[in-house]
Amino acid sequence: MIILMKVLKFGGSSVAKPERIKGIANILKDYYKRGEKFAVVFSAFGGVTDYLIKMSSAAANGEESYLDHFNSFSKRHIDSVNELFIEGDRKDILLELKNNHDVLKGLLKGVFLVREASPRTMDYVLSFGERNSNFIISHYLRKEGINANYLDARKVIKTDKKFGAAKVDLDTTFNNIQEYFTNHPEIQITTGFIASSKGGLTTTLGRGGSDFTAAVLANVLNAEKVIIWKDVDGVLNADPRYFSDTKLIRQLSFTDAIELAYYGAKVIHPKTIQPLKEKKIPLHVRSFKNVNKSGTIINSESCNNKNPSYIVKENQVLISISDLELSFIVEEHLSYIFMLLSNFNITINLMQNSAVSFSICVDNHSYKIPLLI
Ligand code: ASP
């Protein structure tokens, strides 16, 4: 069995600009020089996934502006290559990018013509974000002296065909990752978020799913630790965009981390904890901006945090359900209501019941809520 020391994951904001990529490369060079064993997972460049969604929606709506969006997407990646590499080193990288971008352009043209972007097409479109970033960064790391290899996670992470939030087939994925890492001793630069079905169709693991990719790799490889590098100092007790006096949580138990992530603390993807908890692999959340700060450790030790955490959820809908004759809301009604919520795939964020009414707070899904009602 392979023992891999660490799995490092860098999100979109850490690679949003070429200067940041250079900074991250310095962090990785330190690991490399110390002779540490590690694998790295990168997200798409900051904002790229949203941008890919925007351009496909424009194409699906028949708006020709999708082409302008595509051109800026393409330019952003080409500009990054131009900034990271000297002229003589760029040719092959730009050629491969161009080939990839031609495929994406053709795909978007298809969406524009049929006026539809199915979940299956969307997953393929979104995969260009992570594929581009990891491809460019792996080349850059090699130039910087790291023995890095680009790993398209679709080769190893296998899922069902639930496009948009595919479920990982753990057995096949386990064997694939073990085999791949045994035969490829280089530092693997792995695309987060994307995977593929058994038949080879591209799937994605849900928005923010690169954290989960890192956790799956760590689980299979029995990693010593996962480190998620963020633009904040670690897990804070509230989102600093809404609160000015946030506090860093130094240690969190896996269970508390799952609760926070599930209820919307955006710092880690909710599915990330389970594969780590299973193998007792600690998760370190730390800042790529302040590398001297100690960050947050999430592990199996229980903790006694005195500070409450605050989660802001925007765009919520309050639904209050009561009987027209004001009769009591009893278990039979509740079980019917829960069955409906489950059928419509609606998650409750908060609930409260009184004698004659039952109220829930849910995300404002524009199409699901009217159907439920
Ligand atoms: N790029 C994807 C997203 O923005 C996945 C990730 O960043 O983890 O959702």
Residue 265 has pLDDT above 80, yes or no: no
Q: What is the pLDDT of residue 137?
A: 98
Rounded distance, CA 197 to CA 71, Å? 30
Atom of ligand 1 nearest to the CA of 50: 4
Q: Please, how many CA atoms are within 13 Å of residue 95, restricted to the half-sphere of its CB?
A: 6
- Identify which has the larger pLDDT, 42 or 355: 42
Question: Do the Cβ atoms of 157 and 195 come closer than 8 Å?
Answer: yes
Atom of ligand 1 nearest to the CA of 208: 8
Residue 2 has pLDDT above 70, yes or no: no
Q: Is 162 exposed, middle or buried (0-12, 13-18, 19+ CB in 10 A)?
A: middle
Mean local confidence (pLDDT), 53-63:
96
Atom of ligand 1 nearest to the CA of 12: 7
Nearest in space to 11 (alpha carbons), one of 125, 104, 137? 137
Atom of ligand 1 nearest to the CA of 130: 1
* Strand ordering across the sheet containing 187-191: 148-151, 187-191, 38-42, 6-10, 225-230, 283-287, 296-299, 251-253
Hey, whose CA ends up nearest to atom 2 of ligand 1?
A: 208
pLDDT tens sequence across 279-307: 999 999 999 999 999 999 999 998 877 78
Q: Say which amino acid occupies 161.
A: K
Q: What is the pLDDT of residue 324?
A: 87
pLDDT tens sequence across 8-46: 999 999 999 999 999 999 999 999 999 999 999 999 999
Residue 173 has pLDDT above 70, yes or no: yes
Question: What is the distance in A from the centroid of ligand 1 to the CA of 205?
Answer: 9
Question: Could you tell me the pLDDT band of residue 4, with boundaries at 50, 70 and 90?
Answer: low
The CB-based long-range contact list for 83-89 (8 Å cut-off, 24+ gap) reads: 83/18, 84/18, 84/21, 84/22, 84/136, 84/140, 84/143, 85/139, 85/140, 85/143, 89/143
Question: What is the distance in A from the centroid of ligand 1 to the CA of 215?
Answer: 15
Question: What is the distance in A from the centroid of ligand 1 to the CA of 373?
Answer: 32
Residue written as token pair 């010593």: 224
Nearest in space to 131 (alpha carbons), one of 210, 29, 24, 230? 210
Residues with CB under 6 A from ligand 1: 11-12, 43-44, 49, 129, 192-193, 207-210
Question: What is the distance in A from the centroid of ligand 1 to the CA of 42?
Answer: 9
Q: What is the pLDDT of residue 261?
A: 86
pLDDT tens sequence across 88-135: 999 999 999 999 999 999 999 999 999 999 999 999 999 999 999 999
Q: What is the pLDDT of residue 208?
A: 94
Residue 59 to residues 51, 79, 113, 200: CA-CA distances in angstroms?
Answer: 12, 24, 8, 25
**Could you give the percent of the chain with pLDDT greater than 90?**
85
pLDDT tens sequence across 224-242: 999 999 999 999 999 888 9
Question: What is the distance in A from the centroid of ligand 1 to the CA of 98?
Answer: 22
Atom of ligand 1 nearest to the CA of 11: 7
Atom of ligand 1 nearest to the CA of 206: 9
Q: What is the pLDDT of residue 3?
A: 56
Residue 337 has pLDDT above 70, yes or no: yes
Q: What is the pLDDT of residue 1?
A: 54
Atom of ligand 1 nearest to the CA of 269: 8
> What is the Rg, in whole angstroms, of the alpha carbon atoms belonging to the chain?
22
Can you name the residues that pair with 350 across neighbouring β-strands? Answer: 361
Mutate to test the pocket of ligand 1, among 42, 43, 126 (most ligand atoms within 8 A of CB): 43
| DSSP H helical ranges for 146-263 | 170-183, 210-220, 254-262
Report the chain's mean pLDDT, rounded to a whole number. 94
Hey, whose CA ends up nearest to atom 8 of ligand 1?
A: 208
Question: Could you tell me the pLDDT band of residue 325, with boundaries at 50, 70 and 90?
Answer: confident
pLDDT tens sequence across 197-233: 999 999 999 999 999 999 999 999 999 999 999 999 9
Q: What is the pLDDT of residue 345?
A: 82
Question: What is the distance in A from the centroid of ligand 1 to the CA of 208?
Answer: 4
- Identify which has the larger pLDDT, 301 or 263: 301
Question: What is the distance in A from the centroid of ligand 1 to the CA of 40?
Answer: 15
Give the pTM: 0.90
Question: Do the Cβ atoms of 57 and 47 come closer than 8 Å?
Answer: no
φ/ψ of residue 180, rounded to 5: -60, -45
Mutate to test the pocket of ligand 1, among 122, 207, 231 (most ligand atoms within 8 A of CB): 207
Mean local confidence (pLDDT), 183-194:
97
Question: Do the Cβ atoms of 334 and 353 come closer than 8 Å?
Answer: yes
Lowest model confidence (mean pLDDT) among 32-46, 147-161, 286-300, 355-369: 355-369
Question: What is the distance in A from the centroid of ligand 1 to the CA of 161?
Answer: 19
Question: Do the Cβ atoms of 49 and 207 come closer than 8 Å?
Answer: yes
Question: What is the distance in A from the centroid of ligand 1 to the CA of 342?
Answer: 26
Atom of ligand 1 nearest to the CA of 213: 8
Residue written as token pair 């799956």: 216
Mean local confidence (pLDDT), 314-325:
92
Question: What is the distance in A from the centroid of ligand 1 to the CA of 45?
Answer: 9
Question: Could you tell me the pLDDT band of residue 140, with boundaries at 50, 70 and 90?
Answer: very high
Residue 151, SS3 per DSSP: strand
Question: Do the Cβ atoms of 349 and 315 come closer than 8 Å?
Answer: no
